Chains A and B, each alone.
Chain A
Amino acid sequence: MRFVETRAALLFISPWILGFLIFTAWPVINSAYLSLTDYDVINDPSFVGFDNYKTLFEDPKVGLALRNTFIFMVMSVPTQLVVSLGLALLLNSATRATGFFRTAFFLPKMTPPVAVGILLLMLFNGQSGLINGFLGIFGIDGPAWTTDPNWVKPGLVLMSLWTVGSSVVIILAALRGVPQELYDSAVVDGAGWWKRTLRITVPMISPTLFFLFIVDSINALQSFTEAYTAFFGSGNTTYSNDAALFYAIYLFQQAFEFLHMGYASALAWLLFIVIMAITVVQILVTRRFVHYEGGNP
């Protein structure tokens, strides 16, 4: 009987097992091997030991890409969290038409990232963009967001705020789960809105905020499409910009534009280590600010 059940289970699971072996286990092993070789797809890989990893540390573009990616993460993740928390709090305190507003905030998330990259170029264009036009109303002479290296990343960060919709939805769901009694007793104690938000709401939804913080950081470290669309690609000499060279973009270029498959594999493993290291540090540092009902696990 036991055997029959196990056999049936394995039959159901078999697609995943096959896929795991072909598209995860074997690629992981092969990637580790390739990272020790020179390989251009046409000729056989030639073993070079740890040369690729040595090159990583001497390649100025690796340092640049890591710095760009890190700066983008540090700027975008907290801003996205604050904005999505603010929007969710607003939505939560509205009594009517919340559905309409939620749709308005979520809709940009449906835009394909390529189109977001294109919108970035249009909206943030230094001369004729909508953003600088808007700033002009207040007499502010907006920067050249799409060409000035100092303003490229802030532009990408601001654009990323347009697609915080899914975070808003996730935080809103968490807000709805905070028991009303907590607020009622706080009101009796005379606590104002700010105090209630900081002392009750934020601690109560801190597991959700913590989750978003970690996931958003991991995503930011791998961000590719918007920046690649707007600042790289064939024929792009006008907007091509080292300030937007994110790590995933450099890896893609090495692998599929220069066909340095061995070197790109080493780049991929460095990314894996960087993501792991940053995630572990973030978890260790932020964990004590997270409040779990029924004690910390």
Chain B
Amino acid sequence: MRRARLILTWTALSAFAIAFIYPFVWLLSASFKPRSEVFDHRLIPETFTFDNYIQVWQEAPLALWMLNTLFVTVLAAVAVTITSAMVAWGFAYFRFPGRGALFGVVLGTMMLPGAVTMIPVFLIWNSLGMVGTLTPLWAQNLFGSAFYIFLLRQFFLGLPREPFEAAKIDGANNWQIFTRVALPLCKPAVVVTLLFEFQAAWTDLMRPLIYLRDSSTFTVPRGLKALLDQFGFGGEWHWEIVMTASVITTIPMIILFFLGQKHFVKGIATTGSKG
């Protein structure tokens, strides 16, 4: 009876695992097929070819898009981590009048749908002449982000106070206590913040749609949408190019996941982040 249940569980798990992984394999396999065989549903290409990859590289400035995305992603992740940690520390370590109310405002901003601020924020960047540049995609992160402030504050609150008191007695100033004692102690939360924001910035489509005009400034998701519009919808019907570009867009995220798997899983489980 117990054995039968275990076999049943395993069969179900395996079936679902295949269903979840199959689209990846199917897409990867299609990217190595010639145009006429893309939809033949064979798992192993009948005719194996690298042509799609060469063609994508010729049709689109993929390397440039990758560089743009990397630039935005690294700045977005580093900026948001540093400033959110600073703000979180400010809320966690110090006592001051109005702290609870102010933190309530931080949480309150998370309830506001992005749609409400989207247009006025666009107008700000527009009046600064920054529309068309990569700056609006990351510079807002210099001011911290409510969700990460919340996450990091929770972590700081869980730390014992003794190391900080000891550092203070040793004559460390507030900034030194933060950078030399607090930050190293909260490394797991810092890593989670970096990973989450890296993923968010890499995969974002809406902001690049709003802010980027010229193909040379595109991020990879924005470029992928442009390729879809040109080769998928535009009457040219070269789905193999779109699929190959999708593979190229996705692979960095898969690598990121395997590099930070433990942190991802733990970060999501403890914060309830839906990504």
Q: Is the CB of B90 within 8 A of A12?
A: yes
Which residues of A sit under 8 angstroms from B249, Cβ to Cβ?
112, 114-115
Known A-B contacts A91-B13, A110-B257; the reply to A6 vs B274 at CB < 8 A is no
Cα of A128 to Cα of B94 in the assembled complex, Å: 62
Which residues of A sit under 8 angstroms from B89, Cβ to Cβ?
12
Query: A186 near B: Cβ within 8 Å?
Result: no
Cα of A8 to Cα of B89 in the assembled complex, Å: 11
Query: A93 near B: Cβ within 8 Å?
Result: yes
Determine the interface band of chain A, counting residues with CB < 8 A from chain B: 35 or more
Query: A47 near B: Cβ within 8 Å?
Result: no
Q: Is the CB of A272 within 8 A of B113?
A: yes
Query: A292 near B: Cβ within 8 Å?
Result: no
Known A-B contacts A105-B20, A133-B41, A229-B225; the reply to A31 vs B120 at CB < 8 A is yes
Q: How many residues of B contact A (CB 8 A)?
A: 93
Cα of A113 to Cα of B228 in the assembled complex, Å: 13
Interface positions of A from 99 to 121, Cβ below 8 Å from B:
100-115, 118-119, 121
Distance in Å: Cβ of B264 to nearest Cβ of chain A: 8
Residue of A with least CB distance to B95: A5
Query: A71 near B: Cβ within 8 Å?
Result: no
Interface positions of A from 75 to 115, Cβ below 8 Å from B:
87, 90-91, 93-95, 100-115
Distance in Å: Cβ of A276 to nearest Cβ of chain B: 8
Query: B242 near A: Cβ within 8 Å?
Result: yes
Q: Is the CB of B115 within 8 A of A222?
A: yes
Cα of A155 to Cα of B70 in the assembled complex, Å: 32
Q: Is the CB of A16 within 8 A of B83?
A: yes
Q: 1/0 per residue B87-127: CB within 8 Å of A?
A: 10111011111010010011001001111111111111010
Partner of B12, one of A90, A111, A256: A90
Which residues of B sit under 8 angstroms from A233, Cβ to Cβ?
225, 228-229, 233
Distance in Å: Cβ of A281 to nearest Cβ of chain B: 16
Known A-B contacts A114-B224, A162-B20; the reply to A268 vs B113 at CB < 8 A is yes
Q: Is the CB of B143 within 8 A of A112?
A: no
Q: 1/0 per residue A137-162: CB within 8 Å of B?
A: 00000000000000000000000001
Query: B199 near A: Cβ within 8 Å?
Result: yes
Cα of A8 to Cα of B168 in the assembled complex, Å: 14
Q: Is the CB of A31 within 8 A of B119?
A: yes
Q: Is the CB of A219 within 8 A of B99?
A: no
Q: 1/0 per residue B226-244: CB within 8 Å of A?
A: 0011101111000100110
Distance in Å: Cβ of A210 to nearest Cβ of chain B: 11
Q: Is the CB of B112 within 8 A of A121?
A: no
Q: Is the CB of A110 within 8 A of B268?
A: no
Most buried by A among B119, B140, B230: B119
Cα of A275 to Cα of B264 in the assembled complex, Å: 29
Partner of B250, one of A16, A103, A112, A272: A112
Distance in Å: Cβ of B199 to nearest Cβ of chain A: 7
Q: Is the CB of A272 within 8 A of B17?
A: no
Known A-B contacts A162-B20, A236-B229; the reply to A9 vs B99 at CB < 8 A is yes
> Which 6 pairs across A and B sit closest by C-beta, in order of nearness?
A19-B143, A12-B90, A9-B94, A27-B120, A173-B269, A112-B203
Q: Which residues of A come within 8 Å of B, CB atoms?
A: 2, 5-6, 8-13, 15-16, 18-20, 22-24, 26-28, 30-31, 34, 41, 87, 90-91, 93-95, 100-115, 118-119, 121-123, 125, 128-130, 133, 162, 166-167, 169-170, 172-173, 193, 208, 211-212, 215-216, 219, 222, 224-225, 228-229, 233-239, 248, 251-252, 255-256, 261, 264-265, 267-269, 271-272, 275
Instruction: Given A11-B90, A261-B123, A272-B116, output 9 extra A-B contacts at Cβ < 8 Å.
Output: A10-B90, A24-B117, A31-B120, A110-B250, A112-B221, A216-B274, A235-B235, A252-B209, A271-B113
